[in-house]
Amino acid sequence: MPQKNATELWVRDERGEVRQATGEEIVLEARRVMNRRVHRGTSMTSPQAVRDFLSIKLGALEHETFCVLLLDSRHRLIEYVELFRGTIDGASVYPREVVKLALAKNAAALVLAHPHPSGVAEPSQADELITKRLVSALSLVDIRVLDHMIIAGGEVSSFAERGLI
């Protein structure tokens, strides 16, 4: 078996031979592990756990998608939903649909998220505007928006940390 170190990962192929893992295999396995770790009832009170989960889920996408983490009153995950899919530089988001989903799932709080395939995690004016609209619409039915995270590869920008929520 080849010598292993901290910068190399190895896999056993279908013939039983050991070889160095490709980047794609590493990402796929990371997604599998994260999906097993984050499931209904998982506590999402740690900002780092939410960042890690969303980075794995959204970091490699080449299109925008608007996602919602639906949480109960103790900030445990009810469901992760990719609600709207867009193109490489935008996705249409409809507040009515977000409110409808949150009410249907009996969510007490949400974390909003979407990737920036451009690789730049800075929020745009459109990101800030839709976040304000969603916070306003959801507050009418007593559902809190805890954060809106933008994922660009391994970089994550948090609206809550920036004081935008």
pLDDT tens, position by position, 126-157: 999 999 999 999 999 999 999 999 998 778 99
pLDDT for position 9: 75
75 within domain boundaries: yes
Q: Are residues 74 and 132 in the same domain?
A: yes
Report how far apart, in Å, the C-alpha atoms of 115 and of each of 16, 17, 21 are: 37, 36, 26
Q: Are residues 32 and 80 in the same domain?
A: no
CA distance 62 to 40: 27
70 within domain boundaries: yes
Q: Are residues 67 and 109 in the same domain?
A: yes
* 37: three-class secondary structure by DSSP: helix
pLDDT for position 63: 80
Per the structure, the complete domain to which residue 90 belongs is given by: 43-158
Task: Express each pLDDT in 55-108 by its tens digit.
Answer: 877 876 778 789 999 999 999 999 999 888 776 666 788 999 999 999 999 999
pLDDT tops 60 at residue 12: yes
CA distance 73 to 81: 18
Instruction: Give the pTM.
Output: 0.72
Report how far apart, in Å, the C-alpha atoms of 62 and of each of 18, 27, 82, 94, 152 are: 31, 15, 14, 21, 10
CA distance 165 to 161: 8
Sign of the dihedral defined by the CA atoms of residues 57, 25, 12, 16, in that order = positive
Q: Are residues 76 and 150 in the same domain?
A: yes
